[in-house]
Amino acid sequence: MSARDRGQCLRRIAQAIGPIAEELGRVETKDTGKLVRETTWQARNLVEVYDYYAGLADKLQGDLPPTPPGSPLAMVVREPLGVVAAIVPWNSQLHLAAMKIAPALAAGNTIVVKASEDASAAMLKFAEALQAAEVPPGVVNIVTGRGTPCGETLVSHPLARRVSFTGGVETARKIIPATAENVAMMSLELGGKSPVIVFDDAELDSAINGVTAAIFGASGQSCAAGSRLLLQKGIYEAMVERLVERSRRIRIGDPLDPRTHMGPLATGSQRERIETLLEKALGEGGVLLAGGARPPELDKGFYFQPTIVAFDEQSSDLVRRELFGPVLSVLRFSDESEAVAMARDSDYAFAGGVFSRDFARAYRVARALPAGRVWVNTYRTTSVMVPFGGAKHSGYGREGGMEAVRDYTQTKGIFVEVSGKPVSDPFVMR
Ligand code: NAD
């Protein structure tokens, strides 16, 4: 397909999503328990993602490096990779799939997306938009199935030249060797244990809302969740008191009810894992400040209260491991260098937050974090135009922004002798 045709195809997908966006949101909520307010917003936002990459499809171009006069003409062309194998997790699945499908198609690839076995319905509903958009057969393929054998077969298939994975680090550790046989290119968007640092000079009302959004938004089931809160000693007591009070005002309940603030966890096993880790942490010196249990008024569904636990040090598994739930660990620091050292002391490096009125300091700290995304005096804001992704055990590669299209291509350098001169004798040095 020509680049222009690919752009138009993506534009048609964007247009086909509009009329079914509300339905997509509802289906995703029923499948995952994520708030309908959030899923419908995300479904409507898919239009922007597909539009953005539609606009980039015909902006991708090669290069003519300035090699010396008289030498063969050198060209750098960009070519698609072929078939992309994409694996997505259950949370924000339509959005995460779009961040792979749209740039992969803009660059001229085809893609096979494996939906999450925990929530496949929204991806199948999305397939209706692909049909309405008349995407040529075989260009976007959606398959359902478990990691083994479905995902495994996909990522180890010889035709999959590029694997794009979003999910947990334990799964990534299985996928990395599975791509070895075919030497497939790969990007990994994994989990996090992201620090949010609040300095004494922060605007506290704003920090309270930012921290609440960071950990209790989407019931903490976000790769970018701010699950480690580092508070400077001067505001520690005030912030903790206000956060606890704020957490008690969070309305937990039916995710289809637009008045609900926090829905359930997606799976029962996830809730049990959190409960086990929490119990262990409380036996190891963690102090429970809020929540810590299933809400007694909700006996159906995998609900868990917004939970805050204070620690003196970062040794507990609750502070070090990704929980993917509404559990915040709180720690105290004295000065900037201690805050940075504590924030960096993690296997993960996905995101981070800094709250301070001192912009120079906030900028210094943002630069000192190894994460792929840092928010200053805000949290959770995002845009398809800004690259997203982690470092260390949070993965590698970036999604979003213009680079993502290049990431689904490879360059080819071509030298062409244009002078008409015959190739000279290779054994005669000039
Ligand atoms: P998961 O790792 O359990 O599963 C993710 C996907 O991998 C699923 O589709 C699953 O079927 C598949 N899978 C499992 N084993 C496989 C194998 N051997 N080969 C191929 N595929 C296999 O993750 P989850 O529980 O669905 O989602 C939560 C995780 O995803 C969290 O760790 C979260 O941080 C991460 N996540 C990351 C981002 C990001 O952008 N970085 C976004 C959302 C979620």
Assign residue 115 the CATH number of its domain: 3.40.605.10
Select which of 48, 170, 181, 189 is catalytic. Answer: 189
| Three-class secondary structure of residue 86 per DSSP | strand
Same domain, 75 and 210: no
β-sheet with 195-198: strand ranges across: 287-290, 307-310, 327-333, 228-232, 195-198, 351-355, 373-376
Give the range of the structural domain holding residue 236, as residue numbers without chain letter.
Answer: 195-376
387 in a domain, yes or no? no
Amino acid 189: pLDDT: 98
257 in a domain, yes or no? yes
425 in a domain, yes or no? no
CATH number for the domain that contains residue 219 = 3.40.309.10
pLDDT per position as a tens digit, 363-392: 999 999 999 999 999 999 999 999 999 999
Q: Are 42 and 31 in contact (CB under 8 A)?
A: no
Number of domains present in the structure of the chain: 2
Residue 364, Cβ density class (10 Å: 0-12 exposed, 13-18 middle, ≥19 buried): middle
Q: Which atom of ligand 1 is nearest to the CA of 145?
A: 11
Counting ligand 1 atoms within 8 A of each CB, the residue from 91, 94, 393 with the most, and so the one to mutate, is 91
223 catalytic residue (yes or no): yes
Same domain, 70 and 111: yes
423 in a domain, yes or no? no
Phi-psi region of 15 (alpha: psi -120 to 50; beta: other; left: phi over 0): alpha
Chain position carrying tokens 């398809």: 384
Q: How far apart are CA 122 and CA 95, in angstroms?
A: 11
Amino acid 429: pLDDT: 79
Same domain, 176 and 240: no
pLDDT per position as a tens digit, 13-71: 999 999 999 999 999 999 999 999 999 999 999 999 999 999 999 999 999 999 999 99
Domain boundary among 327, 350, 376: 376
Nearest CA to ligand 1 atom 30: 167
DSSP 229-248: EEEETTTHHHHHHHHHHHHH
Compute and round to an integer the Cα radius of gyration of the chain: 24
If you measure from the C-alpha of residue 222 to the centroid of ligand 1, how many angstroms do you get, rounded to a whole number?
12
Q: Are 401 and 379 in contact (CB under 8 A)?
A: no
150 catalytic residue (yes or no): no
Same domain, 106 and 131: yes
Same domain, 20 and 40: yes
Same domain, 220 and 323: yes
Q: What is the mean pLDDT of the chain?
A: 97
If you measure from the C-alpha of residue 85 to the centroid of ligand 1, how many angstroms do you get, rounded to a whole number?
14
Q: Which atom of ligand 1 is nearest to the CA of 152?
A: 19
The pTM is what? 0.96
Same domain, 205 and 346: yes
**Residue 274 is inside which H or E element, if any?**
helix 268-283
* DSSP β-ladder status, 140-143 and 110-114: parallel
Question: Is the pLDDT at 344 greater than 80, yes or no?
Answer: yes
Same domain, 200 and 159: no
Select which of 128, 150, 170, 223 is catalytic. Answer: 223
